[in-house]
Chain A
Amino acid sequence: MQNDQTSAIGPISVTATPKKSRRIFLKGLSTLFGGAAISSILTGNAIAVAMAYVPNSGDILTDGKIFKKAQLILLKQLCSIVIPNTETLGAAEIDTHGFIDNQLLHCHTQAEQEEMFKLLALINDTAKKSFSALFIELSDEQQFQLLTELDLGKKRFNQTQRQSFKTLKKLICIGYYTSEFGATQELRYESLPGGFKGSIPYEKSDPAWATKGLFY
């Protein structure tokens, strides 16, 4: 059905940076429904935005919300090994460790927090036992080797410890890929796809979509 109102929605269905696409979303709605509805949508969202975790520089100057300063420094290093800085920013560069500190406090049980404390202690204890040094003092190769063993639950680590590390990897992934950088620069994100197409071409170098919808 062609008419002024449906065609007004047309320009929305372009890929855009989220800020831009949100602007277009509001502009599109404004055309359709008038300004009053739009200001109320903005107001509503302003609440959510104000409460979202805002990444800081990633520098660790003090204790975190649940982690001590030393634990945060270790966590930051783990972030940078799991998702390193390459031609795109890595997990540590966008304060994924800070996100995890905040997320564990608000959305996880005490038992789950303890599990992460134990995991960090395990990583340092193993480093001390094997190399007589803290994990962050090890060479890049030693760090990567140790975490690879942990990731596979082999040699110095068992399967229970492996599962704890998978849990941490999951937190790192959520922190990284649902961040603004992760979703829009590393991956592809469309605020308003404009409709569903069942088939589009995909090249090997194309980034994946960042989300399936509300419940990623």
Chain B
Amino acid sequence: MKQQVYINKTSEIYDAIVIGSGISGGWAAKEFCERGHKTLMIERGRVVEHRKDYFGENTPMWQQEHRGRVENILVDQQYNIQKQCYAFGNTTKHFFGNDRDLPYTTKKGTEFSWIRANQLGGKSLLWHRQTYRLGEYDFNANKLDGHGNDWPIRSKDIEKWYSHVEIHAGISGSKENLPNLPDSEFLPPFEMSAPEKDIQTKFAKLYPERPMIMGRTAHLTQPTELHVSQGRVKCQARNECHAGCSFGAYFSTQSSTLPAAAKTGNLHIAPNSVVHSLIYDEVSNRVKGVRVIDNDDLSEREYFAKVVFVCASTIGSTQILMNSVSKKFPNGIANSSGVLGHYLMDHNYNSVASGDVDGFEDEYYSGRRPSGIMIPNFYYKADPKRGFLRGYALGGGAYREMWNDQQHQDGLGVEYKNKLKKAGKWRFNLFAQGEMLPRFENQMRLHPTLKDKWGIPQIEFDVRFSENEKLMMDDATEQSMKMLKAVGLKNVIGQSKNGPPGLAIHELGTARMGRDPKTSVLNGFNQSHDIPNLFVTDGASFCSSAVQNPSLTFMALTARAVDFAVKELAAKRI
């Protein structure tokens, strides 16, 4: 990217400031820039250039330091939280936040794992790339059972924006016409293996209400002309995505939205700029800009714009709002409702099941598929007999055991060596991704005394899974085991775990949308009820977690909100 894109000090008044450069921030910047608006993207971390800064990419295991494991001392001193993320390793560690510099606390008796990715591109470099639309059942869920507030939008409001972002981002998947999971604009799906196809057929007979489909994922299985024109090509199935992908084969800010935004000439980026708070003008009731602390030398500077989009991640965005206090908003800007920081959600991964698949000894696969199979939430219709509210999706897949799955077996010598050389038995597993109810008690707040090195109050989390989530996971384990046994798997095992929230890395809520300004922070266009030129378009705006992976909805909500803001700017209403 051209050097002049990056700025440090400026007195320019931009049309739009976008705080954050992850999935939401990247989309906000692209949409504003393409509509001719001078845009400043503010990123708290360093610059990560596409390709150039993917340090760990395409390094075979034996060329990685410690074969991919991270040095003990480094983990102890800097990555004690981040190491809990499955994607943390030697080829990816530079994309994770440094726990030493990013302290937070949890209320006594609670736990929350907060995974951070503070650099240009944010978590778009590290995400798991599963992409699903929310459907009518999801938008109706809160209204139906009274937990949380009613989403102010429905499918018809967001459908065309899903299409808009999907065509640009590139989503692979199969058209299914399911009532509980709307289809996207698809590139071809990844293939299933032979045992997966067999299990799919058996499930279809035994559980017609629980179809098994290929996971939908933001990978270019067959790039369109548009993708190729962006410098993106077909997925090579390395499954080393989190190290960065020079092929641009998965959607990230770097591969997709940033080049599009930069191409317009309307984009500036202020890296190493930690947003301290928003600058509020009480007379006009507008946000004028942002106060920034330099990431490196801790100096202060300000940036100004006509409209501010906060896309700093669910926790990050709400932290900024909470730390922006004034006479009118003593408890955080745009918080006249008092719900800011509340209704924090994550997804629940506390159920796993697996079994052995007989046969298929002459079948194998080639390439490393960066996705798995998925069974959409089959509890999308409420049923009081179930004993818990909402539902879960099941992910999983089949694989043949290799050396690391077989190494714990008894045996030594030639026999052991020959066994580990060969592909072992087929295994098939399922794990649940459960919805978490929006509850007022689950919250984040600013710590009254502790601050980070930039002088910003630390976050204190107070979040727990409730009895509903626990019952749901027990059901998921029971159902998964039943289904696996029903299709003839052997040695079926399952387990409900008790892991705390956070590690799904699907933080949602805390600045929720809603129709009523007394009970919500944002309106149906992600616009603050209180301050017309302030928008929050990331996961903070969610009213419910639904079951689906949320990133695609961040994209669609953001693009839609920019469209609205651009029209409001033109009409001089903001």
Contacts and interface: CB of A to CB of B under 8 A. Distances in A.
A48 B224 CA distance: 34
A211 B61 contact: yes
Contacts of A199: 191, 193-194, 363-365
Contacts of A170: 407-408
A208 B422 contact: yes
Contact of A196 (B69, B223, B365, B423): B365
A174 B61 CA distance: 10
A151 B412 CA distance: 8
A147 B412 CA distance: 8
B412 A198 contact: no
Interface string B237-278: 111111100110000000000000000000000000000000
A189 interface: yes
A107 B66 CA distance: 7
Interface of B: 51-72, 86-87, 89-92, 190-194, 196-197, 221-225, 228, 231, 233-243, 246-247, 361-370, 399-400, 402-404, 407-408, 410-414, 416-417, 420-424
Contacts of B240: 213-214
Residue from A5, A53, A108 whose CB has the most chain B CB atoms within 10 Å: A5
Interface in A76-93: 81-84, 86, 90
The B interface, classified by DSSP as helix, strand, loop or mixed, is: loop
B86 A215 contact: yes
Interface of A: 1, 3, 5-6, 9, 12-13, 18, 22, 25, 29, 32-33, 37, 40-41, 44-45, 47-49, 51-53, 81-84, 86, 90, 102-103, 106-109, 144, 147-148, 151-152, 166, 169-170, 173-175, 177-180, 183, 186-187, 189-204, 206-216
B417 A83 contact: yes
Contact of B60 (A53, A169, A183): A183
Nearest to B361: A202
A75 to B, nearest CB: 15
A186 B325 CA distance: 63
Contacts of A44: 52-57
B65 A213 contact: no
B422 A204 contact: yes
Contact of B52 (A40, A148, A166, A212): A40
Given A41-B246, A198-B192, A174 B67 contact: yes
Contact of A40 (B51, B222, B241, B411): B51
Contact of B55 (A12, A47, A203, A212): A47
Contact of B222 (A1, A81, A178, A194): A1
A26 B54 CA distance: 14
Given A106-B71, A107-B69, A191-B60, 4 more contacts: A48-B65, A170-B407, A177-B403, A208-B423
B367 A197 contact: yes
A103 B66 contact: yes
Residue from A3, A44, A192 whose CB has the most chain B CB atoms within 10 Å: A44
A177 B224 CA distance: 38
A87 to B, nearest CB: 10
A198 B89 CA distance: 27
B412 A144 contact: yes
Contacts of B68: 178, 214-216
Contacts of A37: 51-52, 246
A170 B405 CA distance: 10
A213 B238 CA distance: 6
A148 B368 CA distance: 35
A37 B247 CA distance: 11
A195 B234 contact: yes
Contacts, number: 257
Contacts of A210: 61, 402-403
A154 B156 CA distance: 67
A44 B66 CA distance: 17
Contact of A194 (B72, B361, B367, B422): B367
Contacts of B196: 198
Nearest to A54: B62
A195 B422 contact: no
Among all A-B residue pairs, the 5 with the closest Cβ atoms: A213-B239, A198-B191, A193-B367, A196-B367, A202-B364
Contacts of B70: 107
A186 B72 contact: no
Given A6-B228, A210-B402, A52 B416 contact: no
Given A194-B236, A201-B362, A183 B191 contact: no
Contacts of B51: 29, 33, 37, 40-41
A193 B225 contact: no
A160 B365 CA distance: 38
B63 A212 contact: no
A207 B246 CA distance: 29
Residue from B67, B86, B192 whose CB has the most chain A CB atoms within 10 Å: B67
B85 to A, nearest CB: 11
Nearest to A184: B60
Contacts of B66: 52-53, 102-103, 106-107
B221 to A, nearest CB: 8
A61 B412 CA distance: 27
26 contacts: A12-B236, A41-B57, A41-B58, A44-B52, A44-B55, A45-B58, A45-B59, A47-B55, A49-B63, A53-B66, A82-B416, A86-B414, A170-B408, A177-B420, A195-B237, A196-B191, A197-B191, A198-B191, A198-B197, A199-B364, A200-B365, A203-B362, A208-B422, A208-B423, A212-B239, A214-B242
Given A33-B51, A37-B51, A193-B237, A187 B421 contact: yes
A203 B421 CA distance: 13
A127 B97 CA distance: 49
Contact of A152 (B55, B197, B363, B410): B410
B64 A183 contact: no
Contacts of B420: 83, 173, 177, 208
Nearest to A153: B410
Contact of B72 (A9, A48, A108, A214): A108
B297 to A, nearest CB: 26
